[in-house]
Amino acid sequence: MLSPEAFREAYSEEELAEELPDSPIGSLRDIQYLYGKLYTLATTGGGEYAPYLTPDAAGDLVDTDDSLIVVRVDVSGDKPKLADDHLGPVQLTRYTDALVQQVSHCKYPAARGIDHSVTHQAGRNSDPEKLARYAKERLTKWATDDVVTKASIAHEDGWIIEQLAELGEDGDTLETIEDGIVTSLGGESATALLTVQVKTEQDSEFRWPGEIDVFLEAMRQRKLSKLVTKNKADNSSGDATDLVTGEPSRTVGTSEDPQNYFLGKQLEKFPGLDIEEAWRSHPISEDAAVTVMNAETFVEACTYRTFGAKVYYLPYFFGRPTPEKARKLYELLYQAAIDEEDTTPIENAYEEYRERRIDENGLRFYVSAVMPHQMSRYDVFGETLNGQLHYPKELAFTHNRIVENTSAFTTNTEWTAPLPTNKKWDLLAANDDLLHAVSTGWYFYQTFAERDDADADADDPRIKALVSVLNGEPISIEVLLEEYVSRIISEETDDEYEGFPSFLVASQFAQLCALADGDLELLTTTDPGKEPITREPTYEEYTMEIPDILATDGGHPAEAKLESFIQETPALAPDSGEDSVTNERRGAFLLGALVGDIGSYQEYSEDRSTTLVDQYPVKSITRSRVKKVTQETIAKTLTYTRQEKKEGKSYPGTKAEHIVDRLRETILDPDPDKWEIGTDDLRFYYALGVTYGMNDHPDWNQTQSDEATNTEEEY
């Protein structure tokens, strides 16, 4: 395959323009056709028969010993015969790049049968006798094939093929071929292509198949014959307008494509399919169909397996293909094809964008997920032509900014940030690999409910969320909350995990904040009560020196932190709207915060193995239990307050007073028995509160740093 530099040198603007389609990219078939064109130009060049060759099929044989076995036939006289010159009737040589077009191999991917071309690919490490049989079949089987015979009759040089067939009827000739191959190989097995060279005139040289038009036409007809008989069709073809080129032509209905779409069992693509009439539902010309098939190398390079599905990210440039767009696209596809790194086309495109080699505004991606079920049966879902680099790129940047530079996750005071961070958790520390996580779906794998990928289906919300992010479509907040809560509960109850999954909840909330970013707007809902969750938080960004966050009246920093977090989180802020659900959500959060705060106190000060966090897991929280849990938690808080005062610890008011006062105020109006908040909504923000409460303590690292500084100043 030509390098991008060699590709640019090989084809001028005019030559490349001649090969490109005239219409804008408007369908998957248009993309596949363009990929196939670029691949053909980069491997077998231009020309009528170039799309029919399959250079990759035997690509691993190039420049290997004993990789090409040639039967040399002379048909220049009255009767056909094997060559009798100094090279002899059989030549064992090396298959090279220079011979790719001359040998003109066209693979037929079937367990049994001959290749479409007169050149045939043997199996790996075939013994000499088997190779001899394949060599003889160039005369006895390929030359007498029905389609080849029909093609030879219609061609002015068809007599050449007839002479091969005639020679194949001579037993002595076949024995000579076999002896020559066995002797040449010295009894050793080999992996090779088998072909013929033919001398057609007395004073001419022996010619390769690629130099004989009738061989190429017969190859073409054999390959085309398979495009109309797939899935037991007799002849699914007819005259129609080619959906790719827009030209009237003979079209085929059951041709293959790199993504296994439009197969006989692909009923969502062919509703009410009549296999013989498939060409009417999906008319594609013979040559266009073959070009589409050639897109396979580039299409496969632009895939990634995730969630039990095969996800396609096929880049293209918006509008009509031009030579310059084609060259830029070829660079992306070439890089994807040779890249041995575990990267996606989105990451590759981002590198090109970062190096200012492409403009992201014109770049688009076809995105789909394919779920295989059984042989020739696939489900296609999450399909869009509008995937864009902007959304996954900006989502990764936004998420990193939130956990690294905002007051929700960072602090420079003597009190911890509202939510914890952890360098070992991908979503709780800024990292350069987040674009990979977003584009592969790992971003949602870490936060959504766990599933067995072997049982994944087209309704998998992880796939839907991934495709939504890639094409800029908003995700339903209801789906997110359901997935988040399900994952939290599963980890709470799984013996593999210890304690409350606070890092998971913090990761989910960071993701929720990133998706709500005002420039992305990747969250949506039809429920007015959940609408505040979809709004972008207004957390202060710490991009310069971070000022201390202190209460204006000189009060406790924990109180200022709680007030600030609530006010800057639209889902919790009192002024987010008149809907009572926001107040109820804030009540659930505050209840969780108190449970987390007192639970941490029980664990670290009381050395209790079972705390309020364990006593009131997320799964147990419902509207009917909120009042009881609140009463018991506040009662426990008062008990510890009295206990600490007896021990001589003096502080005004109640332990965790900054939470208790707001909780009492929120939980009483309206009464929880009359709450309207949904269960997932209630449970997630309760879990967020527990995480907040568990993290609501002095920042020991900061305190130790301050003490060290003060000590140094004293000296």
Nearest to 572 by CA among 509, 511, 485: 509
Question: Percentage of the chain with pLDDT > 90?
Answer: 56
Is residue 101 in some structural domain?
yes
Looking at residue 714, what is its pLDDT? 37
Looking at residue 712, what is its pLDDT? 37
pLDDT in tens, 391-437: 999 999 999 999 999 999 998 778 899 999 999 999 999 888 899 99
**Phi then psi for 238, rounded to 5 degrees?**
180, 170
Is 604 in contact with 447 (CB distance < 8 Å)?
A: no
Is residue 709 in some structural domain?
no
- Of 188, 222, 256, which residue constitutes the final position of a domain? 222
Is residue 209 in some structural domain?
yes
pLDDT in tens, 176-224: 999 999 999 988 999 999 999 999 998 899 999 999 999 999 999 998 8
- Of 165, 200, 222, which residue constitutes the final position of a domain? 222
For the chain, give the mean pLDDT: 86
Cα dist. 675→120, 426, 529, 586, 672 in Å? Answer: 75, 36, 12, 12, 5
Looking at residue 548, what is its pLDDT? 45
Return the number of other C-beta atoms located less than 10 Å from residue 474's C-beta: 16
Question: What sign does the CA torsion over 589, 494, 604, 644 have?
Answer: positive
Is 85 in contact with 204 (CB distance < 8 Å)?
A: no
pLDDT band at 370 (very low <50, low <70, confident <90, very high): confident
Does the pLDDT of residue 553 top 50, yes or no?
no
Does the pLDDT of residue 260 top 80, yes or no?
no
Mean pLDDT of 491-508: 90
Mean pLDDT of 15-23: 90
Q: What is the largest CA-CA distance in the chain?
A: 121
- Of 222, 240, 269, which residue constitutes the final position of a domain? 222
Looking at residue 275, what is its pLDDT? 66
Is residue 308 in some structural domain?
no
Is 70 in contact with 90 (CB distance < 8 Å)?
A: yes
Is residue 453 in some structural domain?
no
Edge-to-edge strands, sheet with 303-306: 303-306, 309-317, 363-374, 377-387
Looking at residue 348, what is its pLDDT? 85
Residues of the domain holding 612: 574-701
Looking at residue 146, what is its pLDDT? 94
Question: What sign does the CA torsion over 143, 148, 154, 155 have?
Answer: negative
Its pTM stands at 0.81
Looking at residue 697, what is its pLDDT? 84
Is residue 192 in some structural domain?
yes
Mean pLDDT of 483-506: 91
Distance between CA 47 and CA 26 in Å, rounded? Answer: 26
Count of the separate structural domains present in the chain? 2
Residue 30 corresponds to which tokens in the numbers above? 């248009």
Question: Percentage of the chain with pLDDT > 70?
Answer: 88
Does the pLDDT of residue 352 top 70, yes or no?
yes
Looking at residue 501, what is its pLDDT? 95
pLDDT band at 701 (very low <50, low <70, confident <90, very high): low
Residue 685 vs residue 552, higher pLDDT: 685
Is residue 695 in some structural domain?
yes
Element (H, E) at 91: strand 90-93
- 90: helix, strand or coil: strand
Does the pLDDT of residue 106 top 90, yes or no?
yes
Looking at residue 263, what is its pLDDT? 57
Looking at residue 72, what is its pLDDT? 96
Looking at residue 310, what is its pLDDT? 84
Residue 457 vs residue 147, higher pLDDT: 147
Distance between CA 691 and CA 689 in Å, rounded? Answer: 5
Mean pLDDT of 325-338: 92
Is residue 8 in some structural domain?
no
Looking at residue 379, what is its pLDDT? 73
pLDDT band at 166 (very low <50, low <70, confident <90, very high): very high
pLDDT in tens, 621-671: 999 999 999 999 999 999 988 888 887 776 667 888 989 989 988 887 778
